[in-house]
Amino acid sequence: MEIFGIPHQAFLGQIMLGLVNGAFYAVLSLGLAIIFGLLRIVNFAHGAFFMVGAFVAFLIGRDLGIGYWPAMILVPLIVGFLGVVFERVALRRIYRLDPLYGLLLTFGMVLVLEGGFRVAMGSSGQRFATPEALRGVWNLGFMILPIYRAFVILVAVVVCAGTWIVIEKTRMGAYLRAATERPELTQAFGINVPVLLTLTYGAGVALAGFAGVLAAPIQQVSPSMGSDLVIIVFAIVVIGGLGSVFGSAITGLGLGVIEGLTKVYYSEASTTVVFLVMALVLLLRPAGLFGREEG
């Protein structure tokens, strides 16, 4: 059986791998979108925190013997804490300025983190073993799928759904939504918006750190692992609609699949197709696929 001249095995296989990549995009863009929604900061350091997450998982595994499963909890906490510190020390000083400065400040942070890890750990990648329980493969008929990759898709969906529940159904989420819509009014109701901002930034980068742990066994852990990823995730959030949290998660998965399809037909263009989509979306539907036009 063939689809447009491509054996359907390859076709389905690439879509499957696209979903795996899409899962990372979804978790990363989720965090980025939450941060932008509330802080109006384009967090360029998102990819760097993703990298830090992977490194922390690697380091606590190597030096403290902490395994993969505890790392899934510990690493987001550690990375989230780093984010909180960064927000308190630096980010909050520039909220009143043009969003451009947020972009630049976090870009500086990228250089510091990437350079720092390069100095400390070298540029070449470190291997990170797949956890024992998730080794092995499933034969899906059209492809051999390593169990770990299926696990990544599953976890990403759970995390996105969990975040949705937190934002839509909890009191905390209600504050968050309120503060996103009307910060001054929310403050007037006695909610501590500055703390909310700090926690939101922490939670957003914690998600990035979590994605880093997920990625560690698939990619090698290296200082540059988040560097090109960040602009792709950016594009995804813009396509989904800046600030639209679920729009970006869904767009993330969708673009993973589009990338996979591109690999079937024109493999070299797979890293560029995201930007093509972004340019088209911005020109035709400026607020993004799921966003609302702002005044």
Partner 1 sequence: MVALLLSPAIKRSLLALLLAALVAVPFVPEIIYPIFVMKVMCFVLFACAFNLLLGHTGIVSFGHAAFFGSSAYITGYALRDMGLSTEIAILAGVLFSALLGAVFGVLAIRRQGIYLAMITLALAQMVYFTFLQAPFTGAEDGMQPIPRGKLLGLIDMNSDLSLYFLVLASTCGGLWLIHRIVNSPFGEVLRAIREHEPRARSLGYAVNRYKIMAFALSAGLSGLAGSLKCVVFRLASLTDVHWHLSGDVILMTLLGGMNSVFGPAIGAIIISALRHYFDALGAWVTVAVGLIFIACVLLFRRGVLGEIDHLLATRFASRRIVKEQKNAQI
Partner 2 sequence: MQNTLRVAVAAASMLALGAGSAAAQVSDDVVRIGVLADMSGIYNDLSGKGAVEAVKMAAEDFGGNVLGKKIDVIFADHLNKPDVGAAKAREWFDTGGVDLINDLANSGVARAVAAVAKEKKRHIIVNGASNMGITNELCSPYAIHYAYDAYSLAHGTGKAVVEQGGKSWFFLTVDFAFGIGLEQQVSDVVRANKGRVVGAARHPLATTDFSSYILQAQASKAEIIGVASTGADAVNAIKAAAEFGATKNQKLAALLLWIEDVHSLGLQTAQGLMLTNAWYWDMNDETRKFAKRFYDRVGKMPNMAQAADYSSTMFYLNAVKAAGTDNADKVSAKMREMTVSDMFTKSGKVRVDGRFMHDMYLWQVKSPAESKAAWDYLKPVATIPAEQAFQPLADSKCDLVKK
| Smaller CB separation from partner 2, 5 or 295 | 5
Of residues 227 through 246, those in contact with partner 1 by CB under 8 A are 231, 234-235, 238, 242
Piece in contact with partner 1 (CB under 8 A), picked from 51-59, 92-100, 190-198, 206-214: 92-100
- The DSSP line for the chain is -EETTEEHHHHHHHHHHHHHHHHHHHHHHHHHHHHHHHH----TTHHHHHHHHHHHHHHHHHHH---HHHHHHHHHHHHHHHHHHHHHHTGGGGTTS-HHHHHHHHHHHHHHHHHHHHHHH-SS-B--PPPGGG-SEEE-SS-EEEHHHHHHHHHHHHHHHHHHHHHHHSHHHHHHHHHHH-HHHHHHTT--HHHHHHHHHHHHHHHHHHHHHHHTTTS-B-TTTTHHHHHHHHHHHHHH-TT-HHHHHHHHHHHHHHHHHHHHH-GGGGGTHHHHHHHHHHHHSTT-SS-----
- Position among 143, 155, 231, 287 found at the interface with partner 2 (CB under 8 A): 143
Q: Is 119 in the site for partner 1 (CB under 8 A)?
A: yes
- Position among 6, 64, 165, 269 found at the interface with partner 2 (CB under 8 A): 6
Task: Choose among partner 2, partner 1, none what residue 6 binds, the Cβ cut-off being 5 to 8 Å by kind.
Answer: partner 2
Q: Is 110 in the site for partner 1 (CB under 8 A)?
A: yes
| Smaller CB separation from partner 1, 111 or 158 | 111
Sign of CA dihedral 161, 99, 285, 266: negative
Of residues 103 through 132, those in contact with partner 2 by CB under 8 A are 118, 122-125
Of residues 185 through 224, those in contact with partner 1 by CB under 8 A are 223
Task: Choose among partner 1, partner 2, none what residue 20 binds, the Cβ cut-off being 5 to 8 Å by kind.
Answer: partner 2
Binding site for partner 1 (CB under 8 A): 42, 90, 93-94, 97-101, 103-105, 107-116, 118-119, 123, 223, 231, 234-235, 238, 242, 268-269, 271-272, 275-276, 278-279, 282-283, 286
Binding site for partner 2 (CB under 8 A): 6-7, 9-10, 13-14, 17, 20, 118, 122-125, 137, 139, 143-144, 146, 149, 218-220, 222, 224-225, 260, 263, 267-268, 270
